[in-house]
Structure 1
């Protein structure tokens, strides 16, 4: 992680992060192993959510640390990788992402893209996800309001990026800020 997802300017102490090893099923129903790094605040919730997804045969193509992609979020998303911690900023902003705090998980990223208007242009991340922007279409791995992944994450208090008004992040579940 050091020098990749955990950069020198990372503001989250390493001792607040947890390594999570999970099982998941691929689209063919094969059992796969996966690994995530998350903030200790959500580690138990994430373990429970992935256990329930696994028991329900919910398809997740792969779950690898973003470090396997040299912390390149675009490369990870293009590979439909499910991931969590990666110290970075929100796309097209200077604000630390919830991923940079270890408080967000992205699921089946190629099929559930990030979509935003920037200077009058539609930006889709990953760039190869344009066929999956139209959420009225039916395709594998799609997350929507009727989806088990959506239901489990929101039951655990996460917010879904697909519900945001100014942009859509269909892959993204984050723990909202709480008032101290």
Structure 2
């Protein structure tokens, strides 16, 4: 379908990424990453053009997932490179931006996030927050998503187990952060790939 494509990381794109998502200590080779263009619809049903960077082993998966979400008019507010937010995950999430590759650690740990490999995707993160109790205190990312921590309520852009977004990622071998027990990451889908992150 026109509007969906996979490309290598061009020099021009790499210049956008350097020092932001692709930090100086990045251990994921540039040649393992791919640049995707996808279409998506927002809550008003308007067609928007999105772009994201992911690992080459999930590029076809993500093209298929986003194409089917688009065909079903599944609402996604925006899909911009996290480099447009200077690689700042909190800022990107607070603007409800979907993204994939960003070389960084998991919050409150020294472990690399699966975003560091381009094997994780965050969907509508403002309305599907990351929730964890740290030293007895509730920690929510992004900070402005606190109103959406009560998952018994309904609102637009909400991801739930069994909905179309969940089913498509599951069909392609991704797991959902909303199923985690130690914390909850309702925006987050990730894939384990032997030899890359497993």
Instruction: Give the TM-score, by structure 1 length.
Output: 0.98
Partner of 1:10: 26
Partner of 2:77: 61
Alignment partners' CA distance in 1, 2:185 and 2:136: 18
Alignment partners' CA distance in 2, 1:84 and 1:143: 17
Partner of 2:120: 104
* 2:44 matches 1:28: yes
Aligned ranges for residues 25-174 of structure 1 at < 5 Å? 25-174=41-190
Alignment partners' CA distance in 2, 1:170 and 1:177: 21
Structure 1 residue 177: deviation in Å?
4.4
Gaps of 5+ in 2: 1-16
**How far does the alpha carbon of each residue in 1:98-138 deviate from its partner, in whole angstroms, 9 at most, with x for none?**
00111000000000000001000010000000000010000
Structure 1 residue 147: deviation in Å?
1.4
Aligned CA RMSD, in angstroms, stands at: 1.0
Structure 1 residue 170: deviation in Å?
0.2
| SS of the residue 1:3 aligns to | coil
Structure 1 residue 176: deviation in Å?
2.0
Number of equivalent positions: 180
Alignment partners' CA distance in 1, 2:106 and 2:45: 33
Gaps of 5+ in 1: none
